[in-house]
Amino acid sequence: MIKDSVLILSGGMDSVTLLHYMKNRIALAVSFDYGSNHNERELKCARYQAESLNIPHIVIPLSFMKVYFKSSLLEGGEKIPDGDYDSDNMKSTVVPFRNGIMLSVACGLAETKGLKHVMMANHGGDHAIYPDCREEFTHAMSKAMETGTYDRITLIDPFTNLEKHDIAKIGAEHGVDYAYTYSCYKGAERHCGTCGTCRERKEAFAKAGLEDPTLYEN
């Protein structure tokens, strides 16, 4: 197996699963620091997981996002809404075109390093809220990456049509330790258990029939 890919690794359940699932093809894992509490805890998990597999890992600072972009996710935990992940109030957590920005930077890194693909762990559960997680976006972005690079780099997004509990099952089969993944948008040390992403996390373990190793506040 040739290591031909850059993986976008947040430190949440999905990208950590993809890291383990595709470990033999990943030459570099890249995380992005946009300055939220949530992000800081995710990054610790990302680093831990990449190190556990001896996969090189870098963190790209995107500090301008906190200055210029509007999103409750960038403003800290107290503004994060409680409620279902799939509901309208979660829209305030959208960071405009975040996946486009991360994919573009990862694509530039891939070309610099002579790699052929960028991998991302977007999935079906994100589609209702986040336009930049849907298949029509990932197809168009892959085409943009392919036509915009000498090496015709493309996107690999194997989870696009899976649900989060499907991903948890794949992770369990590949020995992922989900205690070292972080989801909560409120960004406290312990998962809150009530925000949209915590509810989605709990539900994924339950639907997959897996034990949930997470310590929740509620």
With CB under 8 A as the rule, give the number of residues binding a second copy. Answer: 41
| Calculated CA dihedral for residues 214, 48, 69, 113, nearest 10 degrees | -140
Q: State which of residues 56, 96, 209, 213 lies at the interface with a second copy (CB under 8 A).
A: 96
d(CA 135, CA 36) in angstroms, rounded, equals 27
d(CA 83, CA 66) in angstroms, rounded, equals 24
Cβ–Cβ under 8 Å, residues 29 and 50: yes
Please identify, using beta-carbon distances, which residue of 135 and 217 lies nearer to a second copy. Answer: 135
Please identify, using beta-carbon distances, which residue of 46 and 168 lies nearer to a second copy. Answer: 46
Q: State which of residues 84, 105, 128, 202 lies at the interface with a second copy (CB under 8 A).
A: 105
d(CA 185, CA 198) in angstroms, rounded, equals 8
Smallest distance, a second copy to C-beta of residue 35, A? 13
Q: Does 109 bind a second copy (CB under 8 A)?
A: yes
Please identify, using beta-carbon distances, which residue of 30 and 45 lies nearer to a second copy. Answer: 30
Q: How far apart are the first and last CA of the chain?
A: 44
The interface with a second copy within residues 133-172 (CB under 8 A) comprises 134, 136-137, 140-141, 143-150
Please identify, using beta-carbon distances, which residue of 53 and 58 lies nearer to a second copy. Answer: 58
d(CA 151, CA 67) in angstroms, rounded, equals 34
Q: Does 180 bind a second copy (CB under 8 A)?
A: no
Please identify, using beta-carbon distances, which residue of 144 and 210 lies nearer to a second copy. Answer: 144
The residue range among 57-65, 157-165, 194-202, 210-218 that interacts with a second copy, by the rule CB under 8 A, is 57-65
| Amino acid residing at 89 | N
Structure tokens at 107: 């694509």
The residue range among 40-48, 49-57, 94-102, 169-177 that interacts with a second copy, by the rule CB under 8 A, is 94-102
Q: Does 101 bind a second copy (CB under 8 A)?
A: yes
Question: Please, how many CA atoms are within 13 Å of residue 32, restricted to the half-sphere of its CB?
Answer: 22
Structure tokens at 161: 């049509």
Q: Does 61 bind a second copy (CB under 8 A)?
A: yes
